[in-house]
Amino acid sequence: MKFFVSTPLYYTNAPLHLGHAYTTIAADVVARYKRMQGCDVFFLTGTDEHGSKVEKAATAAGMEPKEFVDELIPDIKELWKVLEISYDHFVRTTDDYHERQVQAVLQKLYDNGDIYKGTYHGWYCLPCESFWTDLQLVEGKCPDCGRAVAKQSEESYFFKMSKYQGQLLKLFEENKDFVLPHSKREEVLNFFKEGLKDLSISRASLKWGIPLPFDSKHVTYVWFDALFNYWTALAHDGDKKRQATFWPADVHLMGKEILRFHAVYWPAMLFAAGLPAPKSVYAHGWWTVEGKKMGKSWGNIVDPFEMVENYGADSFRYFLLRETPFGADGDFSEAALIQRINNDLAGEYGNLLNRTLVMFERYSNAFIPPCGPSGEIENVLSRAAEKCVTVYSSKMDCYEFHHALESVWEFIKEANKYVNDSEPWNLAKNNDPRLATVLAYLAESLRLATVLLAPFIPAKADEAWAQLGYAGLATQQKSADAKWGCFKPGTKTKRGNVLFQRVILEPIAPN
């Protein structure tokens, strides 16, 4: 089975922060989960490099726009590397294959009469690169970011988006899972209340963009250019077969503020190009910091490099997806991150691993023994495991990562309780054959929990497997292994460093 997941393309006029890392980490979790199920995954990310914002930033830096964006790419790729992002392709909107394919689509739409010349009157929000009508403004300001807008009147080419209103409404009607989470569907439908307007898709006053193939005085509006990346990148190496087999995308992930572009403009453009709409678009919530929007002007930007440096990539990844529901807003605090590390990762999961490995060493020469006789206490644990697998997959399938993780932790708690209730130290004292049962059940619990956690904490999962003696398992995390009972006795365990260190905060000195 094929599965295509994407992040939005990131703007290249400022460093990336926690918010950007969030979308990408979530997409990585989806990609890893789907690979675990045996899917042939294409995971796409990249950068949005054209438009007035980039042109302005380059001018301010005394550089040519291309030179300016080229300098930013290594840093972005480095961030994805430290965050363990397993993307299959990194698309840049300045890439040749992208520009050529966008121009071909523009030409096709023009030839079909879906693009026409007119005059654009309206309001433009520079930071959002969005055009607005009088009606859409909120108290005269940009409805998305609340900043000032500028009046604009100029010759422009328009995309006949209004023509696709019926087809779009049919799409929303027929595919109830097109807009995710479902709670966002109404918001998208509201957009149709005024009737869909045609979209201005070119600017003559701007140089930094893809020139229209039929009028080179104009460059393409950034969103028209950028949205098409999801399709052009599939053929980045000229492989049209990949493009044909992976399209339509299974899911585009993005923040809620750009849902309209993905749920309305994008399918309309695809319909005009004779292509099907993606199967779903998922709009996640926003992270604030101490209740405030994150921004340079607030001086409260959370730097993901710093978070990785201080707490490790896996803890950061886990926190972002565990702390708040993916579709809801969340408030970031280091105190909450530390609490999750200490309680969940070091306390419950890490501790279960460590105490179990110590028992293997102490009671069975660091070998996982074949299972001995089992009883009701084991049935309770295996039922908890089976429930966990069922809940986990159903929640992962609808992007409820926090619930998927919660179900794994319920199981981990059950396994820790099993240690306490079965009292292996007493079984050892009495030479009870049930000791082998307890050790085998614990090995299986840790194997299973680690398989399920691997999409979230890939490096730590590898470490845990190595300590459990399953070094090869990381590459075979197929769905077959993501169920209770795949345990193989006879493995030699190798206790190593503690998986997650507790974070001890220095007390703040009184003034």
Evaluate whether 116 touches 158 at the Cβ level (below 8 Å): yes
SS in 3 state form for 164-218? HHHHHHHHHHHCCCCEECHHHHHHHHHCCCCCCCCEECEECCCCCCCEECCEEEE
Query: Least distance in Å: CB of 58 to ligand MSP?
Result: 16
Interface positions, 35-74, toward ligand MSP (CB under 6 A): 48
Query: Least distance in Å: CB of 79 to ligand MSP?
Result: 12
User: If we measure between CA atoms, which residue out of 161, 71, 177 comes closest to residue 118?
Assistant: 161
Interface positions, 442-471, toward ligand MSP (CB under 6 A): none
Count of chain residues binding ligand MSP (CB under 6 A):
19
SS3 for 60?
Answer: helix
Residues 3, 4, 5, 8: which binds ligand MSP (CB under 6 A)? Answer: 8
Residues 10, 221, 247, 392: which binds ligand MSP (CB under 6 A)? Answer: 10
Measured CA to CA, the distance from residue 347 to residue 359 in angstroms comes to 17
Interface positions, 290-349, toward ligand MSP (CB under 6 A): 294
SS in 3 state form for 428-449? HHCCCCHHHHHHHHHHHHHHHH
Residues 11, 265, 311, 456: which binds ligand MSP (CB under 6 A)? Answer: 11
Say whether residue 75 binds ligand MSP (CB under 6 A). Answer: no
Residue nearest to ligand MSP (CB): 255
What's the distance, CA 51 to chain centroid?
A: 25
SS in 3 state form for 258-274? HHHHHHHHHHHHHHHCC
The torsion of the CA quartet 186, 190, 192, 195, rounded to 10 degrees, works out to 160
Query: Least distance in Å: CB of 263 to ligand MSP?
Result: 12
Stretch that binds ligand MSP, among 252-260, 272-280, 363-371, 439-447 (CB under 6 A): 252-260
Stretch that binds ligand MSP, among 2-10, 311-319, 343-351, 354-362 (CB under 6 A): 2-10
Say whether residue 258 binds ligand MSP (CB under 6 A). Answer: yes
| Residue closer to ligand MSP, measured from CB, 5 or 226 | 226
Query: Least distance in Å: CB of 152 to ligand MSP?
Result: 20
Token reading at 261: 């572009």
Say whether residue 221 binds ligand MSP (CB under 6 A). Answer: no
User: If we measure between CA atoms, which residue out of 203, 279, 210 comes closest to residue 4?
Assistant: 279
Residues whose CB falls within 8 Å of the CB of residue 135, separated by 6 or more in sequence, listed in order: 194
| Residue closer to ligand MSP, measured from CB, 320 or 448 | 320
Token reading at 511: 């003034």
Query: Least distance in Å: CB of 118 to ligand MSP?
Result: 24
Say whether residue 34 binds ligand MSP (CB under 6 A). Answer: no
Evaluate whether 374 touches 348 at the Cβ level (below 8 Å): no
Say whether residue 400 binds ligand MSP (CB under 6 A). Answer: no
Stretch that binds ligand MSP, among 111-119, 160-168, 224-232, 338-346 (CB under 6 A): 224-232
Query: Least distance in Å: CB of 343 to ligand MSP?
Result: 24
Say whether residue 278 binds ligand MSP (CB under 6 A). Answer: no
User: If we measure between CA atoms, which residue out of 119, 280, 120, 97 comes closest to residue 188?
Assistant: 280
Say whether residue 210 binds ligand MSP (CB under 6 A). Answer: no
DSSP tally for the chain: helices H, then strands E: 20, 16
Say whether residue 226 binds ligand MSP (CB under 6 A). Answer: yes
Stretch that binds ligand MSP, among 7-15, 25-33, 79-87, 409-417 (CB under 6 A): 7-15
Residues present in the chain in total: 511
Say whether residue 124 binds ligand MSP (CB under 6 A). Answer: no
Q: What kind and span of H or E run contains 162?
A: none
Binding site for ligand MSP (CB under 6 A): 8-11, 19-20, 22-23, 48, 226-227, 229, 254-255, 257-258, 286-287, 294
